Structure formats: structure tokens, C-alpha cells
């Protein structure tokens, strides 16, 4: 590869563009193989590059020294480029946004004492004053106690943070899974009158039937704007939004339009009755032939089937703990499929981008999603 002497002269005077400078410096790597530049031109070039690299010249050197200097200078330049690429690669890797890989959940005990589930290994047991908490092989927690130990109803609270999920077996054998950024308040032991828990966020319930004095004992899930009455069934409650979303997998439930605090004995009017494969959004009750998609989160997936980008962005924000803004025109843009939640947010967005006309930009803990303009 030959190089024009005019470029060399402009290089020594600092009159080259960045692209031209890169061209000249690349030429140094090939100088030993082929060149039409004389010693004088090479002298000026090396002197200019030496100044750029901070090398002081004391006395004239031979052509062999200039060639060595040129090679060394090229190594410095390309060594810097290599380092910069490695650094940029590492920096880019550091910018990948992952959700926590553990439970990222904790229980608030009596007297506001806290313990984190990640500190409790499978088959380990935590001893409290009146009971034990053990971690089961499936990762859920369960209370071990004697009913006569607890003289009054005691409540604990299970809380998940960003990227965290947790599951719990209640004293009646019912099981609850809660999604990220959720909170479940529950009694350690249900009393003989009523079974009830309080949920914020999202939870999936598998409720055991129970009989007291020969009658079915209902189970209540309370929230700020809904109360669910259950006799034994499987359902998902999404309370992230102002209007609750209830997906019934199996059994029957009744829904009251208002919620109330635990142990509030004011009568409630359960004006909505739901059957399997029905979905309640706000006040609208519809059928859903793919009702189990609403518990994809429990299985470790983001559900994309028929979900608008606005709703998906909300789920990604909750899981990864970032702020995601979606262009208004894209809020109802529906996509289909499902994506594992153990991927980085960058991977998830790239998969969505491959199937939809979007661009996204990450800035610290904020992501903007915009429409691609053709």
C-alpha cells in the first residue's frame, strides 16, 4: 500500500481529518514491506507522531531508527485502539441490565424483624419465638408450629423487590406465589372464623377447600379496590394497576368492587361471579381461551401474547427496576410469544426490536422506546 506525499505533509502540519490521520497511522504498519516515501518525509512524519505521543527527539537518528520508531509508534497507536476496544467492550458488558438472580425477597416478622429468603437454604429452618420457618425443596417457605402456641392471630408480611419472586404455603395448605415488587400480608395461623390475606402487586393462588362445622369456609383476598371470595380454586390477581385484573384458571370466585383492610367486618357486595377461563379487567368480564398465559411470570417468562407494548413495558420496568417510556403511538401495538425472564433487558429489547418497528435507547436506568420511521 503506497501513500501520497501530500497527505504526509498535511499530516506533519496537523491539517488532516480524523479519517486521514487513521489512514496515515495504519500505513506505518506496512512501511517495512513497501514504501515510496524518502527518508526526509519519513523524518517529518515520525517527528510529528513523536510529538503527538510525547516523545522528545535529542539528535538525528539513522533510517533504521526511524523505521523502528515508526513501528513502535504504530504499536502504541494500535495498542491504544485495542485497549480502547477492550475497555469499550467491558463497559458495554457492564451496561447490560439484569434482574437479580435470586429470590430478592424477605419476610417481616412480628416486631418488624426481617429476614431474607436468600439467607435460608433449602431444608434450613429459622426459629422464632412462637414458630419455625423452613425452606422447602421447591424454594417456597412454610411455617411449622403448634396451634396452641399462638394465643392470638399474628400477621407476617412477605415482600419481593425488583426481579424477585417468592412462594409460601399457608397454614391451611393453600399456596401463594407473588411476583416482583409485591407484598402479601397473612396470618401465621388462620383463626376458626375466617381465612383472609391482603395483596399488593401480583399473586397467583391455589386455595385449599376447608370446612368448618360442615360448611365451606370461604377464603378472602383483599386489596385496595377489590375483594375476592374463594371456595377452592386457582387464579391470578394483578393489582399493579388501579383497576385489578383477575384471571380465573380453575373453580369459581366472587368479586366485590371495593376492598377493605384485614379483619374489617363490614359487609361486602360480591356482584361479580367468575367461571374458569374468564378474565376481569376493571369492570369488564371476558372469556380468554389462553387463560394460563396470565401466569407465565410464575414459570419464568414474560407473556407477549396479545400484550400491548405499554403493558409489556410496565412488566419490564417492575422486573428490571428501570423506567421505560414508550411512544404513545406504540402503547397498544400487540406482539406475540414469550421470553425468558433470566435474559438481560438488552436481549429482551433486541428480540422485541427484531419483530416490531421500534428503536430503543438506554440512558442509565431509563429506556426510551420509539417507533421506527420509514
Separation between Cα atoms, residue 201 and residue 171, nearest integer Å: 22
Closest-CA residue to 73 (of 48, 106, 36, 110): 48
Backbone φ, ψ for residue 228 (5° rounding): -105, 130
- What distances in angstroms separate CA 213 from CA 192, 205, 217, 318, one per listed residue? 10, 25, 9, 43
Pairing of strands 202-206, 234-238: antiparallel
* Overall fold of domain 105-292: Jelly Rolls (2.60.120)
Pairing of strands 166-169, 141-144: parallel
So where are the chain's domains? 5-94, 105-292, 300-371
* pTM of the model as a whole: 0.74
What is residue 197's three-state secondary structure? strand
Which pLDDT does position 262 carry in this prediction? Answer: 62
Say how many C-beta atoms besides its own lie within 10 A of residue 322's C-beta: 18
- Whether 185 and 262 have beta carbons less than 8 Å apart is answered as yes
CATH architecture type of domain 300-371: 3-Layer(bab) Sandwich (3.55)
Separation between Cα atoms, residue 348 and residue 353, nearest integer Å: 9
- What distances in angstroms separate CA 109 from CA 142, 154, 273, one per listed residue? 14, 9, 35
| Local confidence pLDDT in tens for the 374 residues of the chain | 444 556 656 666 666 676 666 655 655 544 444 444 555 555 555 455 444 444 344 444 444 444 445 444 444 444 433 434 343 444 444 378 999 878 899 999 988 899 999 999 998 999 887 789 999 999 999 998 765 556 678 899 999 999 999 999 999 999 999 999 999 999 999 887 789 999 999 999 999 998 877 778 889 999 878 899 998 899 999 999 877 899 999 999 999 987 665 656 677 889 999 999 999 998 899 999 999 999 999 999 999 988 899 999 999 999 999 999 999 999 999 988 999 999 999 999 999 999 899 999 998 889 999 999 87
Which pLDDT does position 258 carry in this prediction? Answer: 73
- Whether 254 and 272 have beta carbons less than 8 Å apart is answered as yes
Question: What is the grid cell recorded at 176?
Answer: 401463594
Amino acid at each position: 500500500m503506497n501513500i501520497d506525499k501530500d497527505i504526509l505533509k498535511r499530516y506533519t502540519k496537523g491539517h488532516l481529518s480524523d479519517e486521514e490521520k487513521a489512514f496515515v497511522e495504519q500505513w506505518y504498519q506496512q512501511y517495512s514491506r513497501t514504501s515510496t516515501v524518502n527518508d526526509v518525509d519519513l523524518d517529518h512524519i515520525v517527528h510529528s507522531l513523536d510529538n503527538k505521543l510525547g516523545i522528545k527527539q535529542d539528535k538525528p537518528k539513522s533510517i533504521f531508527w526511524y523505521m523502528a520508531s515508526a513501528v513502535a509508534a504504530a504499536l502504541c497507536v494500535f495498542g491504544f485502539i485495542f485497549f480502547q476496544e477492550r475497555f469499550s467492550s467491558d463497559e458495554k458488558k457492564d451496561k447490560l441490565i439484569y434482574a437479580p438472580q435470586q429470590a430478592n425477597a424477605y419476610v417481616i416478622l412480628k416486631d418488624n424483624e426481617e429476614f431474607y429468603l436468600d439467607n435460608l437454604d433449602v431444608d434450613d429452618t429459622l426459629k422464632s419465638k412462637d414458630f419455625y420457618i423452613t425452606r422447602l425443596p421447591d424454594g417456597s417457605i412454610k411455617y411449622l408450629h403448634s396451634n396452641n402456641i399462638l394465643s392470638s392471630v399474628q400477621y407476617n408480611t412477605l415482600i419481593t423487590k425488583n426481579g424477585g419472586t417468592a412462594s409460601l404455603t399457608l397454614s391451611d395448605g393453600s399456596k401463594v406465589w407473588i411476583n416482583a415488587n409485591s407484598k402479601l400480608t397473612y396470618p401465621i395461623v388462620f383463626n376458626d372464623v375466617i381465612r383472609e390475606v391482603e395483596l399488593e402487586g401480583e399473586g397467583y393462588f391455589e386455595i385449599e377447600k376447608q370446612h368448618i362445622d360442615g360448611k365451606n369456609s370461604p377464603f378472602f383476598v383483599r386489596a385496595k379496590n377489590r375483594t375476592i371470595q374463594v371456595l377452592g380454586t386457582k387464579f391470578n390477581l394483578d393489582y399493579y394497576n388501579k383497576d385489578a385484573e383477575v384471571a380465573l384458571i380453575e373453580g369459581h370466585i366472587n368479586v366485590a368492587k371495593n376492598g377493605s383492610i384485614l379483619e374489617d367486618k363490614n359487609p361486602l357486595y360480591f356482584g361479580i361471579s367468575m367461571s374458569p377461563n374468564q378474565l376481569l379487567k376493571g369492570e369488564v368480564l371476558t372469556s380468554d381461551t389462553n387463560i394460563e398465559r396470565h401466569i407465565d411470570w410464575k414459570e419464568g417468562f414474560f407473556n407477549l401474547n396479545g400484550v400491548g407494548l405499554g403493558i409489556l413495558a410496565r412488566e419490564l420496568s417492575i422486573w428490571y427496576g428501570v423506567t421505560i417510556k414508550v411512544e404513545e403511538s406504540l402503547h397498544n401495538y400487540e406482539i406475540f410469544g414469550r421470553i425468558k425472564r433470566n435474559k438481560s433487558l438488552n436481549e429482551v429489547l433486541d428480540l422485541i426490536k427484531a419483530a416490531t418497528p421500534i428503536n430503543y435507547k438506554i440512558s442509565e436506568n431509563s429506556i426510551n422506546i420509539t417507533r421506527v420511521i420509514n
